[in-house]
Structures are given as C-alpha cells and as structure tokens.
A and B are shown apart, each in its own frame.
Chain A
Amino acid sequence: MDKVAIIGIGMTKIEADKRGDTFADMAWEAVNLALADAHMTIAEVDNVVTTSNDFWDGRTISCMAVGDATGAGQGKNTSCVEGDGTFGAFYGLTRILSGAYGTTLVTAHSKGSESVSSLITNAALDPIYDRALGLDMVTACALQARAYMHRHGVKPEDLARVSVKNHGNALRNPLAQLPLKLTVEDVLRSEMIADPLHLLDCSPVSDGCCAIILANEQRARRSARQPVWVTGVSCCADAYYLGDRDLAVPRSLAQAAKRAYAMAGIHDPAREVQVAEVYDAFTYQELMWIEGLGLAEAGGAKDRLERGDFDLEGPLPVNPSGGLLGGHPVIAAGLYRMAEAVKQLRGEAGSYQVDGAKVAVAQGLNGLCGQSHCVWTLDNRS
C-alpha cells in the first residue's frame, strides 16, 4: 500500500446535548480545528468524504446538512459513507490511493440528543423477523455480553473494571463527556439496564463531530505537522442475523485485524502495539475487541485488565482517552478513536499521553453487536 498519513485532526467536545448546534455547526467546528491543526486552508483539501447516518440525523440524505460546512460548496468532489467514521476514513483513503486526490478531508458526526436511541437502533432490526421483538442496540448487546461472559467465565466485576478505567481516564481528557471517579461497586450498584449491563456498563449516546485530514506521501512530507502513517487497514462484516453468529466470538474483527497487521508487518500485536483506542460502546465490548484485535488471548482480556496491563501506566494502555464510555457520538465514534490515536503518536495527549508510543491501533464498528469492523494500524515512524 502506498504511504498515506493523517496530517490533521479536529474533534468537538463530546456532550450530551449540543442544543445550540446544528449538524453543520458541529462540522464547521471540527473541520476548522482539523485545518488549523494541519496548518492548511480548505483550498488544499482535494476532496471530501463525510460520514453520517440517515436514521440518527432524522433525514435521508443526511450528508446534505453538512455540505457547505465541509467544503462541498466550493465545487469539490465529495461523497458520503453511511457507517462508522472508520469506514468513512477508509473510503477517503482509497480516494487517495487511487491517485485521484492528494488529500481527503473526512468528517463523521451525529447528535444522539435529537432522537430516541432505542427507536433508532430498533430500526436496525430486520422488519420481517426481528423488529417486532423490540430489541434495540442495548438489549442486543446484552445478549452478546451474556454469551461472552458465559463462554469465558467473565464476571460482572470484570466488566465493571473497564468502566472504572475508562471513566477515570476521561478525567484527563477535556473533550470527554463523562469523567467520573468510580469504583467497581459503583458500577455494580448502578441501575440494571438490560441484564447483565448496568447503566455504568453502557456508553451514553452523545453529540459530537470529528474531522481528520489524510494525505498522500508527497503532501504529508510537505506538511507542517508530523505525519502519522497508516500502516495497515482492513474491514470485515460478519453475518447479520444475531442467531447466525457465535456472538461470543468477534470473528469479523479478528479477520480485519489479522489483515491490517499483515499489511503493517505486525507479527505479535500484543507486544508490538503500544496503545489502542477501541470501540467500547459497552464494557464487555472493550474486553471482546481487545481479544479480537489479538491484544489478549480469547477470554484473557479480563485477567490482563485486572493486572493493570491496559491502564494508562500499564504496558498496553487501552482507551487512554476514556473511550466511548467517556462519551459516545455514534457514527463519529471510530473517527474519534483514530484522532485520539494520532494524538498519542504525536506526543500531544497531554496528561493522558502514553509515553513513547510509536504504534497504535484504532478500531470502529457498525451494526448490531459489532457485526462489521474497521481496523487501522498507525505508526509515527517513516
């Protein structure tokens, strides 16, 4: 794969309700932060890929709302991916690798505050067979959590530790929505939402927008910023119907990770990856995705977590930013993971910096129970 780098990032604060902001206002903020970060003007953006979801935004052709705010009004070539921001960035990457464009501006946004999330995610259920059962993202993920816990003897305390870690990490991230000092007991005593998921096992549904700027090698080397190189990337979708999958096994994630690592020449991810930003929409997901990413053995994440391996001070910090438990703008979520990984590799993560981090993995997902994943490996060395 030709060399492509991330040369600019911009993230709005993640909040429960950005009442004063339209989608366009959020996009304007994130895009300008990214341009300023890259020391670029919009004229140097060769094309734009926005990422949004029509259901979450309450308008089909959701990309229409952010056109002017992202440079579409300037006569640029643009497109829109409907899925997590990691997929938007993936398509944006192909538009550089194809030789068509030197830089791509990628944005991803949603405002969970504007809708009823359980209705939005219930709409992901097949209307013929499943929707009338009333499942939504939380209840479907509760099924998966139970399957995973049963398979590997994972306890509620193990899940709770993820929440304690991530909300605690969020204390150091000024953009996070939910910085909280918690104990395992706090999590276990929080309201049971859908067994086995307590309130504090669940991410909130937030508002936010993230923008990143990708550049080909030539443009990246001219950049005023230290480029963070994309060394590997892959996507993979598992089966749709929940009953068609072994919910306890993150099969599609494992395949995407394997392919990304192969591209990057990473042979022993558990040792070679120095920081990971993963899609912790729920506590159990962080454990599952750590394993799917090859950062722990199947069922082994809980022990590594308990030992402190994934803490900020540990050998492999996971979600030093606080992750999605710290604030979850759906759709933008994976792009925030990428942006946070970039901060780490630039040494710009301030009080949640992972010292000397050179190799990061960022992961996003789309669909129920992590059906479809996109894995990125990043490196700050040329």
Chain B
Amino acid sequence: MGKKRVAIVGSGQTLHRSRRPDVNGQELIHEAVQAALSDADLTLADIDAIVIGNMDHFEGINYVDCWSVDGSGGWMKPVIKLTTGGTTGSTLSIGGYHMVASGLFEKVLIIGWEKNSESDTTGAITTAFDPIWDRLVFAGAISGLAVEAQAYMARYGATDRDAARVAVRDRRHACKNPHAQLRQEVTIEQVLASPMLADPIHLLDVCPRTDGACAVIMANEDVAEKLCPTPDWIWGTANRHSYTYLADVNFGALDSMAGAAKELFAKTGIKEPRKQLQVIELYQPYSFAGIIWIEDLGLVPRGKGAEYIWSGATDLGGELPINPSGGVIACNPIGATGLIRCAEVSLQMMGRAGERQVPEVELGLSTGFGGCMWTDMMLHGKRKPE
C-alpha cells in the first residue's frame, strides 16, 4: 500500500450566485456533493473519506468538519477539515491528492464551499490578519492587492487599461460557463468607468462575492479508469505559504508563485511552460494579477505580461488559454474557489468542458491564492504520469 497515482474521476459545482437564500450551508454543500457523485456515477457508500474546507468567519460556524456531516455525507467516515484562507480550495485539492496517494483511501470526496452572502466579506477577511499590527488599516483582500498593483505599475509602467483587458477576457470566457456567477461581458471602457475601490482597482477589476460549493472526487490508479474513461491525472503539487506578516511581502511580484512553480515544474519536467501547458486555471482575484503573476509563472519575462495579454494568447482560441471558466473575477465562493480551478482543469483534461473546452489538451495547471500572498498549485495531465 502507499504511493498510488491519483486521478480526478468526477466533479460537481453548484450554480454559483451572489446569494442563495434558498439553501442553508449544509444544503449548498450537498448540492455540489450530489453533482459530483452523479458525475462519477458513485454513491456516498463508495466514498472512503471526506476532506472539506471553507473560511470560518464567513459563516461564523466553528468545527465545520463536524457541523457539515449531513451535507457532506461524512457520517461514519473519516472527515478532515483543511483551511488556509483563500488558498483553502487548492489546499483541499492537494489534501485529497495525498489522502488517495497514501493508499489509505481508494476514493476521496473533496468539498470546498462558502456562503459569502452570510457575512460582511471584507470584514471577515480583515480578521484573517494580525489583530495587533494589521487590522487597523487593512481593508480586506482588495487593499492587499491594490498595493501590489501600485508597486508593479511603478516599476514596469503597466496601466489599469492593461489590467482591464484581463477582466474583459475572463468575463467573456464566463459566458460559456453555466456555473459562473457573472455571465455578461464587459468592455475595457466599462471596467475603467466602474467605481474605484482602492486605487488602481476598479469594481469590475475584482472578484464578486459568491455563494457556492464545489466537490471533486479523486481515486487511485487501481480504480480510476474503471470509474471514468478519461480521468484527470494529478502529476504533482507544490505550494508556498511563505509570508507571515503582510508587510514583509515583496510587493510587485508574487514570490510564492515563482517558488511553487519552480519546484513543481522541476519535478514534473516542465521546462517551457508556455509550450508544454495547454490550459491554466489561475486563481486570479483581480485583473492586474493576470499580468503580474504570469511572469512569476515563467510564461513571459518580467515586465512583459501586459504585452502577452494584449496579444490574445491567453484568450480561448489562443496559444495558452487562461481561465476558460471565467476564473475568479466571474465567480468567487472563497472556500470553493481554489477547488473550482482544480475541477475546471479536470473537465478540460477529460474533454468535458463543453463550450469552454480547450482543444488538444495534454497538461494543465490549477492554482490557488490567498493569505499573505500565498500560492498553491497542481499540475494535471491527460495521461498517467511516470
């Protein structure tokens, strides 16, 4: 036992909306679980363990792993909660991977969820940060991102117009994704005219607040191909949650993404990501990140991100589509968001991404972001890894 190769054999998402008053948290979770089980043609009896996560202060419920058992299907099963803030969803996908790869569990159900409508999102995010040093000034995720954008712009001369092009791309992609919350295109002018939240981030540059859940089923190599004709194989994972104090961060570049990418690519044989990857679901909570972080990924040299975006290379139909699902700008149930990136890449690898399918995929990357500018990432492949 031990050291099994792992594949995603099914996934499910709720129809993500700004508010889901028709369901309580348990019911929201259950919707995604039912969708995933149905997708994989399995029942709860087939599931050997559950890994679940969300960001506690959004719903104000303690010991969520225990509370959620009715909705998650965890009754009389091993249930573990992972939580790392915005990276929770991707942390969960990595968690599910290790649980299955360990050989202890054949099939694991991974659930990420959030009912952001149930609290003040910015207030809750602010409580993530140090109460003594950071909370006085900190204004939720947007403030931490705006300062990054300012630093990058000062160094490389990018503009909010460049960033708006990223928002336009993702919002257009989202129109082909029935799960996405925001399915209406925006223009560059609309983005720039939308209210300024924190200079230079406009309302339409940034993720919405969403109620939603996502469930992913991973299985080991002994059963994956029996359960799914074209499973999505997990080639590797890496993460960096390197900063503890927000003000220690080297703003203007995403060190954690550079570090995680370097490790992941080295151990999976990715030497030229632009050529070897066919799709990326990037946890990109605001538009500027779409310019900055692709440099940290090593797709383009430092300072060349905007040019690459304007070339159309990252649009569906381009050389390397990013966020064919519409990404985080179109939909952000925080505890689920990172897991949705994973689920979306799995759909791409399985050839089941419908209208948002990228043709001829071999390898895809899903990432997670959150906390003190942290990064998680996972490499997915159509074929089994060595």
Contact = CB atoms under 8 A, between A and B. Distances in A.
Interface of A: 1-2, 24, 53-55, 58-61, 63-69, 72-73, 75, 77-83, 87, 90-91, 93-100, 120-121, 123-124, 126-128, 234-241, 251-252, 255-256, 366-368, 371-372
Interface size class of B (residues with CB under 8 A): 35 or more
A236 B2 contact: no
A237 B240 contact: no
B130 A368 contact: no
A128 B102 CA distance: 38
B62 A128 contact: no
B2 A237 contact: no
A255 B74 CA distance: 14
B85 interface: yes
A96 B68 CA distance: 28
A99 B3 contact: yes
24 contacts: A54-B83, A59-B129, A61-B371, A66-B244, A68-B244, A77-B240, A81-B80, A82-B56, A90-B78, A90-B80, A91-B98, A94-B101, A97-B101, A99-B2, A236-B78, A237-B65, A237-B66, A237-B76, A237-B78, A238-B69, A239-B75, A240-B68, A240-B69, A252-B76
B240 A75 contact: yes
Interface of B: 1-3, 24, 49, 53, 55-58, 60-70, 74-85, 91, 94-95, 97-99, 101-104, 124-125, 127-131, 237-244, 259, 263, 370-372
A120 to B, nearest CB: 7
B66 A80 contact: no
B62 A121 contact: yes
A155 B104 CA distance: 41
Dominant secondary structure of chain A at its interface with chain B: mixed
Contact of A234 (B66, B78, B82): B78
Contacts of A239: 69-70, 75
A124 B76 contact: no
A94 B104 contact: yes
Contact of A24 (B75, B237, B244): B244
A2 B1 CA distance: 7
Contact of B131 (A59, A63, A80): A59
Contacts of B69: 237-240, 371
A235 B102 CA distance: 15
B2 A97 contact: yes
Contacts of B68: 240
Task: Please list the 8 inter-chain residue pairs (A to B) with the smallest Cβ-Cβ separation, ordered nearest first.
Answer: A367-B66, A98-B101, A97-B102, A61-B85, A99-B3, A235-B78, A67-B244, A60-B57
Contacts of B84: 61, 63, 79-80
A237 B101 contact: no
Contacts of B58: 60
B242 A72 contact: yes
B102 A98 contact: yes
Nearest to B259: A75
B327 to A, nearest CB: 22
Contact of A123 (B61, B81, B99, B240): B61
Given A24-B244, A94-B99, A237-B78, A61 B55 contact: yes
A241 B67 CA distance: 8
A67 B372 CA distance: 10
Residue of A81, A98, A234, A252 contacting most chain B CB atoms (<10 Å): A98
A120 B62 CA distance: 8
B65 A366 contact: yes
A72 B10 CA distance: 32
Contacts of A241: 70
Nearest to B267: A100
Contact of A1 (B24, B76, B104, B130): B104
A325 B78 CA distance: 27
Contacts of B125: 60
A98 B241 contact: no
A17 B128 CA distance: 23
A267 B127 CA distance: 48
Given A97-B1, A123-B62, 19 more contacts: A1-B2, A59-B129, A61-B85, A61-B370, A61-B371, A64-B85, A64-B244, A72-B242, A77-B239, A78-B239, A90-B78, A99-B101, A124-B62, A236-B77, A237-B66, A239-B70, A240-B68, A251-B76, A368-B66
Contacts of B65: 82-83, 237, 366-367, 372
Contacts of A91: 80, 82, 95, 98-99
A371 B83 CA distance: 20
B372 A64 contact: yes
A366 B78 CA distance: 12
B80 A98 contact: no
A123 B67 CA distance: 11
Nearest to A69: B244
Contacts of A73: 242-244
Nearest to B66: A367
Contact of B102 (A79, A93, A256): A93
A126 B67 contact: yes
Contact of A127 (B1, B60, B66): B60
Nearest to A52: B83
A371 B78 CA distance: 11
Contacts of B64: 82
Contact of A80 (B83, B102, B127, B263): B83
A126 B61 contact: yes
Contact of B130 (A59, A60, A78): A59
A256 B78 CA distance: 8
Contacts of B240: 75, 77
B79 A60 contact: no
A58 B101 CA distance: 34
B76 A79 contact: no
